[in-house]
A and B are shown apart, each in its own frame.
Chain A
Amino acid sequence: MDSLHAIGFYVSSGVLLIGGLGVALLPGRELRGAALAVVGVGLGGLYVSLAAGFAAVVALICYLACGALVAGPRYRSVEVVVGPLWRQVGALGAAGLLVVIIYAAFRGDFVTAKFFGGAFGVSAIGRLLFAHDALATEAVAALVLVSLAGATAVWRVRERAR
């Protein structure tokens, strides 16, 4: 990775994390939507610096859409009844997760590990689903999608009839 891409990587990472913190901490749905759009810009720049241009374009579009959804007029606020103690426990859990993942990333030995799972290994299943039986997998996925859309349509019709 040359210096230009490295600079892009670190700048995009900063933009990405600032946007993420904005989503977590900013008040108001408009600001949170804008922060999600900033996350999309940062993520797109990061993917470009990692030589993943197509993923950058898709991520940018998807995260801009996420920002528009959050900032849009259809947003409804739903308060959940959870005590502050549990929220603080959850925040501590998030901090612990960060420590664990950073430790795993810093050690980094797992990336050289080899897994011999035999016939049930990840590579065998991936080859089966995405290479040998790709058409069947796509057909089943399309069937599931159509049935979910149909079930949703039936549910909406019944709800309106009530």
Chain B
Amino acid sequence: MAGQGEGALSASLVAALFVAAALVAVGVFTAVWRRDVTAALGGIPLILGGAGVAFVGVARFAAAGSPHLFGQEFAVLLAIAAVALLALGLGIAGREGAR
């Protein structure tokens, strides 16, 4: 997080991983704290979003020599997996709730 120049604001890999860690922890907290299973499902997109931030951050800052697209591909995959898992979970919960 140290500035590049005099008074310049910058972000680093550690900052990106901090955000990713916080997002994963908030997602896990949501999943374990909510009594309603369908509300707990809201934690899944947060956990996968945190993983995506970590991938993109590592690809941006730490993966020297490799194209940034590696992290971006995984972030895209995780975002699509998040919406698919949430839809699947809500669908199953809808069936259970209707019984």
Contacts and interface: CB of A to CB of B under 8 A. Distances in A.
Contacts, number: 206
B19 A17 contact: yes
Interface residues of A, number: 60
Instruction: Name A's interface SS.
Output: helix
B9 A3 contact: yes
Q: How large is the interface on B (under 10, 10 to 19, 20 to 34, 35 or more residues)?
A: 35 or more
Contacts of A10: 9, 11, 15
A62 interface: yes
A69 B90 contact: yes
Contacts of B40: 80
B74 to A, nearest CB: 9
A97 interface: yes
B9 A6 contact: yes
Given A9-B11, A97-B24, A102-B18, A78 B36 contact: yes
Interface in A24-82: 24, 29, 32, 36, 39, 43, 46-47, 49-52, 54-55, 58-59, 62-63, 65-66, 69-70, 74-80, 82
Interface of A: 1-3, 5-7, 9-10, 13, 16-17, 20-21, 23-24, 29, 32, 36, 39, 43, 46-47, 49-52, 54-55, 58-59, 62-63, 65-66, 69-70, 74-80, 82, 87, 90-91, 93-95, 97-98, 101-102, 104-106, 108, 111-112
Report, nearest first, the 8 A-B pairs whose CB atoms are least far apart. Answer: A90-B32, A76-B97, A105-B17, A98-B25, A101-B21, A20-B26, A94-B28, A62-B79
